[in-house]
Amino acid sequence: MAHQVYTEEYLEHQNRIASLAKALAHPARIAIIELLYKNGGCYCGDIVAELPLSQSSVSQHLRALQEVGLIQATLEIPKVKYCVDKENWAQAKNFFCHFFENN
């Protein structure tokens, strides 16, 4: 049985760092971020062609990264283009830097 974590008992920055860390806690997601940065953005099919993952797995990883705001999606009918959300990425870097520098 999974232990339920009550996130409201923690500070906002603690919850944010935890959600970012969870989103980055898979090597496929790190590879996707690197690919998006390298190419300035990609379609899901481009990512599938580059990584040893199925389309459904890539979509799940993209969704996890998008939910925490690390990437953004732009509808370019009939496809969706993904790229790193540079503002949120900079904020994440600041959260992690502050955390590691002060602990």
The series of mean pLDDT values per 10 residues for the chain, 103 residues long, is: 68 92 97 96 95 96 97 94 96 92 84
Two tokens, residue 24: 């980055």
Instruction: Identify the pLDDT of residue 103.
Output: 77
Domain positions in the chain: 11-89
Looking from the CA of 63 toward its CB, the CA atoms found within 13 Å total 6
Instruction: Identify the pLDDT of residue 3.
Output: 55
Instruction: Identify the pLDDT of residue 6.
Output: 66
Instruction: Identify the pLDDT of residue 2.
Output: 55
- The answer to whether residues 51 and 99 touch, using CB atoms and an 8 Å cutoff, is no
Fold of 11-89: Arc Repressor Mutant, subunit A (1.10.10)
For residue 15, give every residue at least 6 positions away whose Cβ sits within 8 Å of its Cβ, in sequence order, or none: 7
